[in-house]
Amino acid sequence: MSAILAPAVKRDWVHQLQQDLIAGLQDTNPDLRLANIARLGALKLRSSGSALHKFVEDGNELEARWAIYAALRSGDPSVFPEIESMLTENDSPSIPLQTERPNESLVLTDSTALLPDSAAPQCSMEGLKIHIQYEIGNLRNPEAVPMLARIAVSAQEYNVRSIAFSAIRSINDPRSLAAFVDLLNDPDPKLRTAALDAIAHITTAPECQRGEAAEESIEPCKAWWEHEGRFIEWPTAIDVSQ
């Protein structure tokens, strides 16, 4: 049906499929709309963002959550505020650390039961949060640094903070230095040490190189940042997300 609704587009088949799926967002069947939202995310085309944003802003709770996930997969930075809010909620439940892509169908407890069998993607709201968590860990776009930095500092769950931290470090953007300096005061010694190593890697400052006792290197690094590092005009990273 969506192929009939879509305008003729003289492009490759991926973009034609994108147009078909966007047309399918008008379907009166809510399950099919949801399926098309999820499939647009799977295409990972940034140009899908405007079509998905209608559901981020005006869709029901399930449509909005799937549209946020699909837009994130599409590389759309406009959903970063929604992602940040979702992952820094005070009542956010504990989510296992995601180092591999989660299964498309999740076996969950009664409190997070799967949606009924239908054309819609089979994943609960909490399952979706796990998928989103995995995706933020793979972000390599420097535009994501401010959001990731705030998640790394403010998220309640250690695993969420750790994933955001790992993504920031992989982006290797000096704009993340202030967040790493904040993490030098974190209660968790693993994050303190990891932040020290990240600062040393980005700046190559001798004051931030880890000695035999990592904790003893933190105060000299903080002093260097306060009196010198924060005044340096650091170059920004190149976007390697493409």
Query: Tell me: the pLDDT tens digits for 69-116?
Result: 999 999 999 999 999 999 987 644 444 444 445 544 433 223 233 333
If asked whether residues 30 and 130 sit together in one domain, one would say yes
Cα distance between residue 63 and residue 38, in whole Å: 9
- Number of other CB atoms surrounding residue 230 within 10 Å: 12
% of the chain beyond a pLDDT of 70: 80
72 located within any domain: yes
If asked whether residues 124 and 214 sit together in one domain, one would say no
* The last residue of a domain, from among 118, 137, 156: 137
CB 127, CB 102: distance < 8 Å = yes
pTM: 0.74
Cα 63 from chain centroid?
18
- Domain range for 197 is 172-233
176: which residues sit within 8 A by CB, 6+ positions away? Answer: 145, 148, 149, 168, 169, 198, 202
Cα 87 from chain centroid?
9
**DSSP annotation of 101:** P
If asked whether residues 17 and 61 sit together in one domain, one would say yes
User: Which of 149, 160, 141 shows the shortest CA–CA distance to 98?
Assistant: 160
Cα distance between residue 177 and residue 229, in whole Å: 9
Query: Tell me: the pLDDT tens digits for 123-158?
Result: 778 888 889 999 999 999 888 988 998 898 888 888
- The span from the first CA to the last CA of the chain, in angstroms, equals 32
